[in-house]
Amino acid sequence: MTKEPFEEMYSDLVRRTKLRLLRMHYESKVGHIGGNLSCLDILMALHHRVMQPEDTFLLSKGHAAGALYSTLWSKGILSDLDLKSFHSEGSHLSGHPAPNWISEIPFATGSLGHGLSLAAGMAHGRKLRGIPGKVYCVLSDGEMQEGSTWEAIHYANHQKLNHLTLLVDKNGLQGFGSTQEVAGLDRITEKLRSFGLAVIEIDGHNADDIIAACKSIICGPVAIVANTRKGCGVSFMENQMEWHYLPMSEAQYHQACDEVGRS
């Protein structure tokens, strides 16, 4: 089936943004590429096809800062010159998002387990003040091992924070192995439901699934469990724990760009 022109334009934009992400990480000799590629489709769908001007986005999995910076580049908010400074001394584009220089990054995040608490507080503030707009928060599945995350989930459900949508980037890997090996993390969907949240499970690399889940009209805070692949789109990175850390060699960079460019 032939894609509609708008869908083709969006697919091309996502492809170009992935290539820009790879280039930024290669030029900076910085790792964390695998986790960036697992959530980039989510960030792109949110910023281009879901969020409205009154909405707020919070990246709790701060080590995926490159995905956020690349997405903001795709929106014209950051420039090529900005991305060239990624991870350099004195740059705003640090390895984890730093606040207070653009409105699109309201908090410093990356000390995993804190982002959802901040997002819940923002959503509650909007509810109390009658301010329109939603708060979207992207977490790693490793963050579901943090007690503070579950405190925030309990709080969000108790306060009926209809403005809040949390999206779990469930790629199954973290710094020292699989989430199952490290802390027996399974049945995330069931656990979220047991805390009273409405839960939708989706393919985290399918834009239509992401958009439909985010636009579902459900009373109360919504949790979207997005099944993803670490290093998505690059054969030698996919589902490989070491790409939580490694930078790319020149040969790996060219192979990665070739594979993404043909996707």
Please give the pLDDT value at position 198.
94
Query: What's the pLDDT tens digit per position in 23-41?
Result: 999 999 999 999 999 999 9
Mean pLDDT within 108-134: 93
Confidence category of residue 64, pLDDT binned at 50, 70, 90: very high
Please answer whether residues 230 and 240 qualify as being in contact, where contact means their C-beta atoms are separated by less than 8 angstroms: yes
Please give the pLDDT value at position 3.
64
Predicted TM-score (pTM) above 0.85: yes
pLDDT over threshold 80, residue 176: no
Mean pLDDT within 205-230: 93
- DSSP string covering 156-184, please? HHHTT-TTEEEEEEE-SEETTEEHHHHH-
Please give the pLDDT value at position 87.
93
pLDDT over threshold 80, residue 55: yes
Confidence category of residue 173, pLDDT binned at 50, 70, 90: confident
Helices in the chain by DSSP H: which ranges? Answer: 5-28, 33-45, 65-74, 80-84, 115-129, 147-158, 179-183, 188-194, 207-214, 250-261
Mean pLDDT within 231-238: 97
pLDDT over threshold 90, residue 231: yes
Listed range (89-103, 140-154, 166-180, 244-258) with the worst mean pLDDT: 166-180
Q: Where are the domains of the chain?
A: 5-261
Mean pLDDT within 62-68: 96
**Which residue carries 């923002």 as its tokens?**
122
User: Would you say domain 5-261 falls under CATH 3.40.50.2300?
Assistant: no
Strand partners, 137: 58, 166
Amino acid at 1: M
Please give the pLDDT value at position 263.
79
Q: Residue 82 has what DSSP assignment? A: H
Please give the pLDDT value at position 1.
52
